[in-house]
């Protein structure tokens, strides 16, 4: 008789367990969809060229990309080129002059750009 009573209890709890399974599946699918949406949003923000998310882009670059000291910063290019040419000039390297590949004007190691045509020199 006790076995029959236990079977009746399990049978009565079966719909509750089925609803629990449905709810758990819905929660897991909702969490997976949310994570997928956040991931797409994160990739969109990280690939945005504007400066709206500059701090977030720096974090992404630090985690997944080039280290900060190896990244090219467009604001620092003229200063770094001038600093490089001055460092090369003061380090005892023999000065040189050669024609600009674009216009033929004579340039030296002190010119980050050609004075006549504006070609950026390396």
Q: Looking at the domain assignment, is residue 119 inside a domain?
A: no
Q: How confident is the model at residue 32 (pLDDT cuts 50, 70, 90)?
A: very high
Specify if 93 maps to a domain.
no
**33 part of a folded domain:** yes
- What are the pLDDT digits (tens) for 64-101? 776 667 666 655 554 555 555 565 555 556 677 888 88
Q: Region 28-47: what's the mean pLDDT?
A: 91
On whether the CB atoms of residues 95 and 83 are closer than 8 A, the answer is: no
Name residues whose C-beta falls within 8 Å of residue 110's C-beta, 6 or more positions apart in sequence.
85, 86, 89
The rounded distance, in Å, linking the Cα atoms of 33 and 36 is 5
- What is the tally of structural domains in the chain? 1
């Amino acid at each position: 008789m006790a076995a029959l009573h236990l079977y009746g209890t399990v049978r009565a709890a079966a719909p509750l367990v089925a609803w629990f399974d449905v709810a758990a599946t819905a929660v897991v699918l909702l969490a997976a969809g949310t994570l997928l949406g956040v991931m797409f949003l994160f990739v969109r923000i990280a690939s945005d060229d504007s400066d709206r998310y500059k701090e977030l882009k720096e974090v992404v670059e630090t985690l997944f990309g080039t280290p900060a000291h190896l990244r090219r910063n467009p604001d620092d290019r003229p200063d770094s080129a001038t600093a490089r040419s001055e460092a090369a000039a003061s380090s005892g390297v023999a000065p040189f002059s050669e024609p600009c590949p674009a216009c033929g004007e004579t340039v030296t190691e002190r010119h980050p750009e050609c004075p006549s045509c504006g070609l950026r020199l390396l």
